[in-house]
Structure 1
Amino acid sequence: MAKLPERMTTRSGTFYCRIWVPTDIAPIYGRQLVVRSLRTKDLKTAKSRLARKSVELENQFDEIRADQIAGDNLAAPDSRMIRAGFRDIAREHAIAANDDEFSRRAGLFSTR
């Protein structure tokens, strides 16, 4: 098998995104390592999904840093972080669904 991209791993043939949480925000994020299923056994599809998942997680990390700089109280997860977590879950479960179904599910957790 070809060498996998840096942030990708596999378990039982299914590909996963594996990203270390930056040390400056790990205490706020609540963990040091994030592992998310890419929900595919196809390497080409996994690479595409890895790129999207990496960007999503990096954006979450940037939001946390921005909140820190703004001086927000981050002792406990705020509602925006919780909504972001629910959006991630909805997206993961909607990957196999068609675009209309994905839009409907992702819209359930939109920020207002």
Structure 2
Amino acid sequence: MKKTMLVALVTAAYAGFLVPVHSQVQVDPGAFSGLGYRYIGPPGNRTIAVAGIPADPLTYYVGAASGGIWKTTDGGTHWNPIFDRQPVSSIGALAVAPSDPNIVWAGTGETFLRSHISMGWGAFK
């Protein structure tokens, strides 16, 4: 019985190595040759959290350590503050609700341990 169990365990362990491995899709390096790095903002802040909408690749939300939440709908060319009228500005986490891309959850407070951090007030919707 022990020998049969040992053979079964060894066979099961090696079976994982026999699964075919799919190769990665090769991307033509020339597809990115015309691209360059550029600064797109938001200016003057530590960006802590970023969230996007999978169905809309041009819309992003950025949470800043000392500047609230910023939103872009044009891939980062222009940014608008959307959290200015709240009692706290420091953002540590962002999430877009999968059920409704118009609902954004924000966890407040800084996530980096520094000598001068801003405390949060919980989560905002």
User: TM exceeds 0.5?
Assistant: no
Higher relative contact order (CA 8 A, sep 6+): 1
Q: TM-score range by the shorter chain?
A: under 0.3
- TM-score, normalised via structure 1 length: 0.28
The structure carrying a bigger strand percent of its residues is 2
The structure carrying a bigger helix percent of its residues is 1
Larger radius of gyration: 2
